[in-house]
Structure 1
Amino acid sequence: MTDLLRAEGLSAFYGASQILFGVDLALKQRHTLALLGRNGAGKSTTMKTLAGIVPARGGRIFFADRDVTHAPAYTRARLGLAYVPEDRQVFPEHSVEDNLLIAAKSGPDGRRDWTLPRIFETFPLLANLRSRQAGRLSGGEQQLLVIARALMGNPLVLLLDEPSEGLAPIVVATIGKVLRELGASGATILLAEQNMHFCSRIAEEALVIDRGRVVHRQDTKGLAGNEDIRRRYLAM
């Protein structure tokens, strides 16, 4: 199966500090891949570099059969790469419905599989809150909103950065259910997380990152039983 998103030898810096060291990553179409690691391991920088927010200082990024290593973020978005940041970034004074409509567009292949009615069917909680200002939503409700907003652009790939962070267990379970349903429907997702338990029922495979380097790759079922890797790189 074709790699829809691929990074080869990816390096990135913040100022003079190198954060990523030769990261290799391959995400196949219609698969969900987890990027696991502790805080500060390089997960968010990897996601931002793939999205074009942090420039790659080494290596190459390929998306939808194109070299996008030096393409700006808006070009990658137009090609179908949707990035959902860890800090959510809703439009706080606009309603839930307006937040969704702002992002509505056809996908790069012209399809509009994700419409407002389908979003409200998939996210019934948002349907009940459609007129509420986004800034008045709880953290979990905002997280559902930004995932739904990304889908309104009909992307080819979803980059989700720490979607379960800081949320109550019942909200995490709701988000997990939504992501499993998206995966079952054929979505392609890269999921950056600390929470291996959360990822184990969503992703088929996981990369473990530590200090800006990929140190392990394994299917999630195997990783759940790999005590050595979990203790060395994932234990808090």
Structure 2
Amino acid sequence: MTDLLRAEGLSAFYGASQILFDVDLALQEKRTLALLGRNGAGKSTTMKALAGVVPARHGRIFFGGRDITRAPPHTRAQLGLAYVPEDRQVFPEHTVEDNLLIAAKSGPDGRRDWTLPRIWDTFPLLTKLRSRQAGRLSGGEQQLLVIARALMGNPLVLLLDEPSEGLAPIVVATIGKVLRELGASGATILLAEQNMHFCLRIAEEAVVIDKGKVVHRQDTAGLAGNDDIRRRYLAM
């Protein structure tokens, strides 16, 4: 399979503090890859660096074979890279439907597979809330909304940062079901999480990060039985 998104030797800083150290990862087309690690391991910084929110100090990032290392975030979005940050960032005074329509556009290849009718079918809970202000939604409802809003841009890759964080188990199960359905339909997803059990049911492969360095790579079926790696890097 083709690597749709690839980072090589990626290093990133916040001020004088280095957060990422020579991170390598590859996301293949139509696959779901989990980026796993404890809180503070460097997952969110990796996602921000891929999205262009945090500049890469060293290394290179390729998207669809194109070097996007110095490309600004809006250019990466136009190329089909959709980033859903961990703090959700809805437009609180706008309705659910308005939040979706704001993001509606054709994909970089001209496709418009994701439309409002398909969103309502995929996210039935949002259908009931379409006229509600986004700021009045629960955390779980907002998380579903920002995932749906990202899809309205018809992206080639979804970067999802901690989509299960702080949510009730029933909401986490709903989000997991949606992501499994997206994967089954051919979506390409990079999922950053510290909830390993959530990811094992969604992703085919996993990269484990610790203290800003990639320390392990394995398919999720193998990781489920790898007690040593789970204990050293993923136990809470």
In structure 2, what is the Cα distance between the partners aligned to 1:80 and 1:63? 9
In structure 1, what is the Cα distance between the partners aligned to 2:121 and 2:149? 14
Q: Which position in structure 1 is the counterpart of 2:166?
A: 166
Unaligned 5+ runs, structure 1:
none
In structure 1, what is the Cα distance between the partners aligned to 2:226 and 2:176? 22
Q: Which position in structure 1 is the counterpart of 2:21?
A: 21
Percent identity reads 89
In structure 1, what is the Cα distance between the partners aligned to 2:26 and 2:44? 17
In structure 2, what is the Cα distance between the partners aligned to 1:148 and 1:64? 23
Shift of 1:135: 0.2
Q: Which position in structure 2 is the counterpart of 1:205?
A: 205
RMSD of the alignment, in Å? 0.3
Q: Which position in structure 2 is the counterpart of 1:77?
A: 77
In structure 1, what is the Cα distance between the partners aligned to 2:191 and 2:2? 19
Q: Which position in structure 2 is the counterpart of 1:130?
A: 130
Secondary structure of 2:89's partner? coil
For 2:79, the aligned partner's letter is L
- How is 1:22-171 mapped onto 2 (pairs within 5 angstroms)? 22-171=22-171
Secondary structure of 1:56's partner? coil
Shift of 1:175: 0.1
For 1:186, the aligned partner's letter is G
For 2:112, the aligned partner's letter is R
Shift of 1:141: 0.2
Unaligned 5+ runs, structure 2:
none
In structure 2, what is the Cα distance between the partners aligned to 1:184 and 1:43? 24
For 2:223, the aligned partner's letter is L
Shift of 1:221: 0.9
Shift of 1:65: 1.2
Q: Which aligned runs of 4 or more in structure 1 are off by greater than 2 angstroms?
A: none
In structure 1, what is the Cα distance between the partners aligned to 2:143 and 2:23? 27
Q: How many residues align?
A: 236
For 2:162, the aligned partner's letter is E
In structure 2, what is the Cα distance between the partners aligned to 1:134 and 1:210? 35
Q: TM-score, normalised on structure 2? A: 1.00
Shift of 1:64: 1.0
Secondary structure of 1:6's partner? strand
Q: TM-score, normalised on structure 1? A: 1.00
Secondary structure of 2:159's partner? strand
Shift of 1:194: 0.3
In structure 2, what is the Cα distance between the partners aligned to 1:93 and 1:221? 43
Shift of 1:47: 0.1
For 1:134, the aligned partner's letter is A
